[in-house]
Chain A
């Protein structure tokens, strides 16, 4: 059973009657009473991470730039000279969208969508794993920082508006993205999970509601010391699992399933889950969704090929999500990002190799959309980074900082929140 298919009736059976059945001799700790708490509508940030290095030039196409067509003879998106053939969907006089992203055009017109061009890291790495780490910890080149930037935000703003909800942040996937990893408990809700009975039992086993270490802990060889037990990650994870999943089950039992149709695929079902939590009135602040598979060394293609298929899903899912949110769209900002862009030239396998500057797409009800954001560095030989890649003109931390300060309303963000960072101009996404 997935969270999304669990009906209210089933939930009540599992949580209420189930507790009396054999195997669950302990009363439920958290009743349904918590549901009556009035939701506090605050800002929401949804981060979609496109892993592998999305090719920015074939998403937002510089369709007036001759260089673009010269260096991409087989995978360029045509500028629409031939009648009846799919071509770039112009956003302004210089840039247009890949036709697979057609669902985003109306959002651009209603100012609820804006691309941010040439975003990236000041660090030159072309390793996926380093680039992702550096970006998700928002600490380029600093390997000692192992707490995600969103987790740092959650921790730094804990209990800002009274006691935190158990569901301030989540991801509907088996494992958290690194940006959400860290001491602040965030829920990773994979598709299938234990029922309420099982949660009760294991809540006891992992010392839910106990003072950490009060039981003297579980042993390692030679005995675990008490203070080790207090920081025991396994126990901590178990406890966090129980409280957050319990809360999520309560919430989802209450929210009606979506009426909006999402494209089938990895992203759609995750966004659908996030929308459902938001519509249930949970004070959710941050949600993340990972999408692996943007590393198009071969068969990226132009109008056809792998990326065409993936962009179709991306555009459709973003549009469906915004629609599904209804009035909540106004307090939501969706941001797609990737670890780096790709070589400006195609590589001869109708693909591209690891490059430098990438691209972000921002969608939301109240953003300053309908504009192309970020400075365009150009594609001529001189402007390319190391003669091969799109150059970075916006540090990704400039975007993160603006989003936290303005969209999330964290006016008191400390100067050193991003280590070794010299604040630059934000992209002007949020008012």
Chain B
């Protein structure tokens, strides 16, 4: 028998995997193919055509290690897609400056056309950013990196819908999250804390000590000199008196970025951390086109602080160091190791990760001082990760669903509009999570009745090339058997569903094929195959990873 015939034969007679293994008390360990598919489901956004075979040839361990250590080149197609995204090369300062300049040049009484031009520029960076995130997730070869950045994007969430974050987010994504995703957690924490995107998103750039009596007097004098009005001066003093601490970032730093809610800290600690971080603000110099981190000693709250029961003495020479001390203590805290380990295991292993696994991963986090590569290796090597009960059990988030569907079909993207619209309809538009929590990664948050219909709609449209700007290439269908629709069903299932087709799904597909053949005895691949593909993309099996 020629190899193709063997393959065909095995597809035709192979019973569904469920039937092979059903009923056993001890689930059989994953076989080689299942192990590869498991890793590609969790440490990647699913397979692309041919990827499973390539990983098998290379060896799974070697593939994973290469993913962590090698700076793999972007494929040609991806580079072509990324090339036009010029705004992503610009710094936050340059982006903001460009918009301010155009706004000034257009003047206050601008025509609707001019306004549209300005709006286009205002949205340019955020639109290119979401495109780049999508393109990289779908076509990037460094898939472990892509999943890790996906995790971090939600862990250190910022939203481009808040004020100037849209101009700061590209550098945040590429210069912080992506750059340090395989570095140490401490680097990430400090660099997010000092990045204009985070300083703005969680308001820390505004947080300061209340003004002193002398300062209030100076304000009064200067206003009186300028306006000659005593009441105006008093008003300005009243306004200035109210300036003060903003707790927003300090709270989320403890609750979401490090310790986890109410673990080890109290409201007092939130206030003390906020005090330590006063003066961490944004430098906006539009002459030079610079937006960057700035420490302003005049905004800093003086005096000693206490954090988690320990003193942070006043540092008069270098008050910036007080905030850095807070971050260092948080990085070394066992609560941070535990919280990050738990969250990473939730993302890569299971919605409710077993305690012993979390403990083991937390120990590695602690020992390596938050070296994320070591932590990822620890998860990958842990026997619990390979436990068959996790295989194809994790519900895909909308982003994971869309990206994995595009990858598995080898879809070509010429315009991203329809895809972003789909993500919006599925409630997970890129970089637009308003809550500092980021998008949740547990099933509970995503499987409300009703949302499935939007997934089905997407599945059918993708399969039938009805999403504007997206095409499943002809080659995807051309590799199906030239005549036998019964074979298509199995060929497609092998590609799409790591755990195989369930009996119900198979029965429904059989009925669809029979009904179709009854009407059109000469079934055309062009019509029936996309329908089968759409059904499989929308099937319960494909919603899991």
Contacts and interface: CB of A to CB of B under 8 A. Distances in A.
B503 interface: yes
A187 B460 CA distance: 22
Question: Which applies to chain A's interface (DSSP): helix, strand, loop or mixed?
Answer: loop
Interface string A59-82: 000000000000001100000000
Interface string A179-210: 00100011111111111001101101111001
A204 to B, nearest CB: 5
A223 interface: yes
A194 B392 contact: no
Contact of A241 (B241, B247, B450, B460): B450
A175 B460 CA distance: 21
Interface in A123-158: 124-130, 146
A128 B435 contact: yes
B128 interface: no
B449 A347 contact: no
A285 to B, nearest CB: 16
A26 B509 CA distance: 12
Contact of A222 (B240, B270, B388, B437): B388
Interface stretch (B23-31, B44-52, B289-297, B468-476): B23-31
Nearest to A248: B450
A202 B449 contact: no
Which of A22, A74, A348 has the largest number of chain B CB atoms within 10 A? A348
A347 B451 contact: no
A22 B519 contact: yes
A220 B508 CA distance: 19
Interface residues of A, number: 75
A193 B454 contact: yes
B401 to A, nearest CB: 12
A215 interface: yes
Interface in B21-57: 21-24, 27-28, 30, 34
B504 A219 contact: no
A297 B426 CA distance: 29
A279 interface: no
Given A74-B239, A181-B448, A221-B34, A207 B27 contact: no
B544 interface: yes
B543 A185 contact: no
Contacts of A195: 457
Contacts of B456: 194, 198-199, 201-202
B364 to A, nearest CB: 26
A120 to B, nearest CB: 16
A240 interface: yes
B543 A174 contact: no
A222 B446 CA distance: 26
Contacts of A383: none
A292 interface: yes
Nearest to B256: A129
B504 to A, nearest CB: 4
Contacts of B246: 297-298, 347-349, 351, 353
Contact of A175 (B239, B261, B427, B507): B427
B389 to A, nearest CB: 7
A298 B437 CA distance: 19
A234 interface: yes
A186 B34 CA distance: 36
Interface stretch (B72-80, B223-231, B300-308, B510-518): B510-518
B443 interface: yes
B491 interface: no
Interface string B450-468: 1111101100100000000
Contacts of A202: 452-453, 456, 535, 538
Contacts of B114: none
A189 B251 CA distance: 34
Interface string B345-378: 0000000000000000000000000000000000
A221 B392 contact: yes
A217 B506 CA distance: 11
A354 B251 contact: yes
Contacts of A186: 448-449
A244 B24 contact: no
B503 A225 contact: no
Contacts of A124: 267
Interface string B526-545: 01000100010011110110
Interface in B219-249: 235, 238-248
Kindly list the 9 A-B residue pairs having the minimum CB-CB distance in the complex, ordered from nearest.
A218-B502, A222-B27, A219-B18, A348-B243, A25-B515, A221-B391, A174-B427, A223-B22, A240-B449
